Structure 1
């Protein structure tokens, strides 16, 4: 099992969340692949997108059907938000793009949770690799990440 998946599992268990990580041989790299593998709608995929504010990682966990408005993210945080290249994402989170989980990051991040996720239950999030995901609820996602619910969709 990849080390990054172990980090996610440990973060979940440390937060009192059950180990709901499942491996999907078909892959969960994209929202469409994840929804097909898990057997849910694309909206129920909680995708993790990393931006940066200077050297600080900014994690936005959004419904799989939503595009993120970077300006709204910046307004919600009161910071300038920039795109992050894949190498930087992997360096600061410990996850490759396509497997970025909402928990278990190497460096602490500022975290926003898309308000549209709050009406969906269950939701599925990446668990550290492009073939692993975990099942959770929006309330649990906010609790285990310490994130702030915000309007971030374009």
Structure 2
């Protein structure tokens, strides 16, 4: 295994362990950078695939980490109303890595712990299990979405459409 990929998996383990989150690692040969890629690689439906999004408000100097289902889209209107941050935009690839420690396509759900505000959309919590990125595009983490409740200060709100 590539050393960098192993380091990313170790970082996922450290973050998950710090919050007491239990999960199973799933590796796959096909990359899973997008929801469609992850569906194919894992043979799972998009409702079980998680997207971990990072947004920033540069004026307020705040980052927001959001976990939504793969079959949903983020409602910027709901998010701005909830956070009160009016200048939110998606973080660049460089900003995502600086904030979370992970590259686009490999940001695990547990990485929202590194954002100023952490949010899980309520529809994620209705699933019996979910799979998010595991640190890189060839690795996933499978777990009960209730494990996300262990993330300190995580907000459970509907932010997807």
The TM-score with structure 2 as length reference comes to 0.85
Is it true that 1:7 corresponds to 2:14 in the alignment? no
Structure 1's unaligned 5+ residue stretches are: none
Cα shift readout 1:43-66 (whole Å, capped 9, x = no counterpart):
111110111022322111000011
Give how far 1:98 is off.
Answer: 0.6
Give how far 1:26 is off.
Answer: 1.0
Q: 1:122 aligns to what?
A: 129
Structure 2's unaligned 5+ residue stretches are: none
Is it true that 1:102 corresponds to 2:106 in the alignment? no
- Aligned CA-pair RMSD: 1.9
How many residue pairs match? The answer is 154
Is it true that 1:151 corresponds to 2:151 in the alignment? no
Q: Distance in 2 between matches of 1:105 and 1:62?
A: 12
Q: 1:63 aligns to what?
A: 69
Q: Distance in 1 between matches of 2:158 and 2:131?
A: 20
Is it true that 1:38 corresponds to 2:42 in the alignment? yes
Give how far 1:78 is off.
Answer: 2.0
Q: 2:148 aligns to what?
A: 141
The TM-score with structure 1 as length reference comes to 0.89
Q: Distance in 1 between matches of 2:78 and 2:44?
A: 28
